[in-house]
Amino acid sequence: MKRINLLIPALLFLAIACKHKPKQTESTVTAQDSLENKNYLPVADFIRNDITRVDSFSGGIVRKVTIDGKKDSNYIQLPVFHQLASQFLLPELDSASFHQHFTESSLMDETTQMINFIYNGKQADWPLRNVMVYLKPSLANDQVNRIYMEKEFMSGDTTVQQRFTWKLREFFYIITLKQPKNGPAVTTMDKVIWDPQFFGE
């Protein structure tokens, strides 16, 4: 009788636990879910969530700008951080547009031990060409580690190529190459860091 009395509460607990499965937070997603449900990863949401994290503390934020090898750095306030970070929230990442204009593939990188979700543009003239999301697998939820994007477009008679890298919880940077039709190319790197251990880089 004692064994039955112990078994009933255990079964009730198990039923409740299964019914109330913890919801994943917006900043975490399992690679398996994305593959099984054929849902593209919410790239813009990952970035927005990291922006919210930066808003939640009052630590220093360093901006480092390099233009053709000449470097400059200074501390910036949140409004400037938001202005620079907004460059990552591209309209092409809107879910409907993203599904329409990109194909998804994935692979396990044995070197980095990360799952890479790769999104390639279907149209050669679409400004956002490629997006890559790097996830670190775990037994609980796969943690997004980094987001990389490539963009190319014309500005007047100048070809502009941009490489965007967002390292979650640490920093982001944008490398921009501007090649005028007549004239030398100009390369700029704009890096914003909020994790103090990377201030010295």
Give the tens place of pLDDT for each residue, 12-48: 333 333 333 333 434 444 444 444 445 789 999 999 9
The pLDDT, as a whole number, for residue 58 is: 67
**Mean per-residue pLDDT for 55-75?**
92
At a CB cut-off of 8 Å and minimum separation 6, what does 55 contact?
Answer: 78
Provide the mean pLDDT of the chain: 83
Give 151-183 pLDDT, tens digit per residue.
999 999 999 999 999 999 999 999 999 999 999
Q: For residue 35, what are its two tokens?
A: 């593959």
Its pTM stands at 0.79
The pLDDT, as a whole number, for residue 38 is: 58
The three-state secondary structure class of 195 is coil
The pLDDT, as a whole number, for residue 12 is: 33
**77 near 58, Cβ under 8 Å?**
no
Q: Where are the alpha helices (DSSP H) in 1-128?
A: 2-19, 31-37, 43-55, 78-85, 95-101
3 band by pLDDT with thresholds 50, 70 and 90: very low
The pLDDT, as a whole number, for residue 189 is: 98
- Phi then psi dihedrals of residue 124, to 5 deg: -65, -25
The three-state secondary structure class of 92 is helix
Encoded amino acid at 163, one letter: R
Give 105-115 pLDDT, tens digit per residue.
999 999 989 99
The lowest-confidence range among 53-57, 173-177, 185-189 is 53-57
Task: Name the residue with tokens 């007549």.
Answer: 182
The pLDDT, as a whole number, for residue 36 is: 47
140 band by pLDDT with thresholds 50, 70 and 90: confident
